[in-house]
Amino acid sequence: MLTLVETGCANTGPRTQTLHLIDELKGRGAAVRTMEASTAREVDAVLDDPEERIVLAADSDEQVNAVLARVVRRLAPAPSERPDDLPAGRTIPDLPPLAVLPQGEVPGIVARLGLPEKPAEVAAAVAEGEVLRTDLMRHDGGGVCVDGVRLGGGDRPWTGVVALDDAVLADGSEQILACVVANADGYAAADDLVLAEPDPSDGRIDVAVAVPVTVGRLRKRVRIEVRRARGRAVAVQPEGKVAFVSDGLVGELGRKRTWWVEPGAALWRR
């Protein structure tokens, strides 16, 4: 069985793409059912059957993120109940392969991962395409990231500690213009400055911190120094609050947060 999950936002617009996809899938002999999901919790109904094939109709990164976060929440074992067959370096099993049908706006995640965008292409990917395996980021607040996180940016510097594994990129004593925690390249740049060049399938997080540095003895000037590192887990502890964007979600971080990579945990149909 194949289930087409239409998110709440996608349902507010024309269903032309959805109807085209259903026709394409039925033309390939697939049995298709549709369901509306105005909340991530409603996706639970299609997660109980491991043979279920899922297509998510979405028009934003936030919608894709919400579904992935719900899947992880359902499938992640308790630390005390880690199964023997869990891949090394992971806290979650492989997620169910997910196909994404763009509705209206194409989610940035779809474009950056090179996933199909047209109904006929999505149908072909579901029926006979290959599965793309990418890394996934989790954080200790219970969320996930496919693209990554950008903290700060613009004209509002902030201070805080940024530590990736054993490398301290910022110790809290200097201003930070921007910090990126990147899995894919959606937030690899800030204010036209390329901070990182991440590979979403290399099993590592790319972290970069941009700080202003004063140089010169007689004619002092300020240049931007970018400190970069790759590793498994990063902790960011801001002093006060700092604005962030993560897979399209905008908010403020006012406490220490740790992100870590789940190598090869996300599966996509293409």
CATH of 2-129, one of 3.90.1150.10, 3.40.50.10330, 3.20.20.60, 3.20.20.140: 3.40.50.10330
Instruction: Say whether pLDDT at 10 is over 50.
Output: no
Q: With 90 as the cut, is the pLDDT of residue 97 above it?
A: yes
Whether residue 88 is predicted with pLDDT greater than 70 in this model: the reply is: yes
Q: Give me the chain's average pLDDT, please.
A: 92
> Residue 63: phi, psi to the nearest 5?
-70, -45
200: CB partners within 8 A, 6+ apart: 112, 113, 134, 135, 146, 183, 184
Residue 62 has pLDDT above 80, yes or no: yes
Q: Residue 149's pLDDT band (boundaries 50, 70, 90)?
A: very high
Provide the 8-state DSSP code for 41: G
Take residue 228 and report the two structure tokens written for it.
């970069």
Architecture of domain 148-263: Sandwich (2.60)
Q: What are the domain boundaries of the chain? A: 2-129, 148-263
Average pLDDT over residues 9-14: 48
Among 103-107, 191-195, 197-201, the range of highest mean pLDDT? 197-201
The H or E element spanning position 64 is helix 61-75
DSSP string, 91-133: SS-PPPPEEEEEBSBPPHHHHHHT---SHHHHHHHHHH--EEE
Most confident residue range from 41-50, 148-157, 230-239 = 230-239
What is the per-residue pLDDT across 248-258, written as a single tens digit (0 to 9) for each? 999 999 999 99
Whether the pLDDT of residue 8 is over 70: the answer is no
Pick from 244, 238, 259: which is nearest to 165 by CA?
Answer: 259
**pLDDT given at position 11:** 46
By C-alpha distance, which of 50, 66, 56, 67 is closest to 34? 56
256 Cβ contact list (under 8 Å, min separation 6): 235, 236, 237
Task: Give me the mean pLDDT over the 179-196 stretch.
Answer: 91
* Predicted pLDDT of residue 208: 97
Cross-strand pairs, 267: 133
Say which residue, 264 or 105, is predicted with more confidence: 264
- Tell me whether residue 218 is exposed, middle or buried, using C-beta atoms within 10 angstroms of its C-beta: 0 to 12, 13 to 18, 19 or more: exposed
Q: Which of 214, 217, 181 is nearest to 198 (CA)?
A: 181
What pLDDT is recorded for position 113? 96
In this model, does residue 84 exceed pLDDT 50? yes
**Residue of 224, 221, 220, 195 lying closest to 211 (CA atoms):** 224
